[in-house]
Structure 1
Amino acid sequence: MGQRFIHILNGPNLDLLGVREPQIYGHRTLADIKADCLHELEGSGIGLIFRQTNAEHEMVGWLHQARVGAFGIVINPAAFSYAAYPVLDALKMCDCPIIEVHISNIHRREEEWRARSIMTRSVTAILSGLGVDGYALAVRHLLQIDRRDAA
């Protein structure tokens, strides 16, 4: 078997992380998050595929690629969280652990609709409100799951 990968998939508007509503999302960028996740993976032998899209069909395609054989998926569905049923269906087809990450605490946001992520129905765990640290924590957790399963 070849190298296995953690797929970190980011939804709409996260390409503007660092400049978009910094009072909510902070000043760190996707490049910073990727560096944090690569640091977590050092020495593990697990690779990283790190992507962002504003297009629902592209996210579905990436989930199809990760569907079988991925080490794990970390997904910040962003606005896809609320109505992207094709993304939800694609997540349901994946055979690996999936962690949903939200930078802000979606349950404390002013807009009530933000607290209702449809993706939660198909994921292993959800991290919400830990800022960008949630990504590296999700990667660390995936590595821990693998270590426990191997023991």
Structure 2
Amino acid sequence: MDCPRSLNSLEYTGASADLLFGREHESSNSFNRAHENRIRRYSEIMSTKPNRKILLINGPNLNLLGTREPGIYGTTTLPQVIDTVTKRAQDLNITIVPFQSNHEGAIIDFLHSHFLVPTSTAGTTTTAGSSTTSEKAVPTNTISDAEKDEEEQKEKKPDKVAVIINPAAYTHTSVAIRDALLATSFPFVEVHISNVHARGESFRNHSYFSDKATGVIMGLGTFGYVAALEFWANKWDTTTTNHTSTSASTST
């Protein structure tokens, strides 16, 4: 029996089909058709480049990483963390949008800014603090500015958006950031550099985020951010692969 030349590139001989796909040997014609379908599905998966974005949020005092209690948080700085995550994300076809703030409201505004669609001001005039809407007849064969804005927003909207958040001290206090995450419906992974449960401080044992998080990573140092990135990439890739395979099977 011939052996597969390359499993990664999907190159194989007809006689090795049983090994690769676990089925009885097919006739030459049917095998060739099945092979072409598999190659086509594989090509569709590999050629798909969805617009994927991760909001990388860090809370209070994390701007001091590298110098802040290095025995607990290590010597890696926040810019180094962002650089490492961004470089890995490029390999995974994911855009990283980093944000750090020591202020609760700023983090909430950042989440809102990636959720809310800007409201068009077309057809609205403002005078002396009041606004009035002027009605103009729009020909049926033209698209209004508002409709154009809506279409542009749809085109710019990422296929996938998720959050990696280290709320830091807000982990134990911020109902407001928790509510903002729930209001925007962004799935999120909660990350902590240290193992907060091993810190010996009882107030650190409660998180306002963990029960709503897709997952929680702690105690892995700054590698926890990369681990969270890899999780989202794997989850999205698996979903895309399953969806493409299902679509292809229903169309054949």
Matches within 5 A, 1:28-39: 28-39=76-87
Instruction: Indicate the residue corresponding to 1:141 in structure 2.
Output: 231
The alignment status of 1:111 with 2:201, answered yes or no, reads yes
Which is worse superposed, 66-75 or 79-88? 66-75
Whether 1:55 aligns to 2:55 is: no
Distance 1:111 1:56 in 2: 22
Task: Please give the root-mean-square deviation of Cα atoms over the aligned residues, in Å.
Answer: 1.6
Question: Which runs of 5 or more residues in structure 2 are unaligned?
Answer: 1-49, 117-157, 242-252
Matching of residue 65 in structure 1 with residue 65 in structure 2: no
Moved over 4 A (4+): none
Larger radius of gyration: 2
For 1:26, the aligned partner's letter is: G
Aligned length, in residue pairs: 150
Counterpart position of 2:45:
none
Residue 184 of structure 2 aligns to a residue in which SS? coil
Q: Secondary structure at the match of 1:9?
A: strand
Shift of 1:94: 3.1
> 5 Å matches for 1:69-80?
71-80=161-170
Name the amino acid aligned to 2:90: E
SS in structure 1 of the partner of residue 93 of structure 2:
coil
User: Residues 91 and 122 of structure 1 are in contact (CA less than 8 Å); yes or no, is this contact kept in structure 2?
Assistant: no
Is the contact made by 1:91 and 1:123 (CA closer than 8 Å) also made in structure 2?
no
What is the TM-score normalised by the length of structure 2? Answer: 0.57
Q: 85, 97, 101: which one pairs with 2:187?
A: 97
* Secondary structure class of the residue paired with 1:127: strand
Q: Distance in 2 between matches of 1:23 and 1:52?
A: 22
- Secondary structure at 2:197's aligned position in 1? coil
Higher relative contact order (CA 8 A, sep 6+): 1
CA contact (8 A) 1:104 1:128 kept: yes
**Aligned residues with identical type, % of pairs:** 34
* Matched position secondary structure for 1:49: strand
Tell me, which stretches of 5 or more residues in structure 1 are unaligned? none
Residue 5 of structure 1 pairs with residue 53 of structure 2? yes
Look up the match of 1:41. Answer: 89
TM-score, normalised by the number of residues in structure 1:
0.92
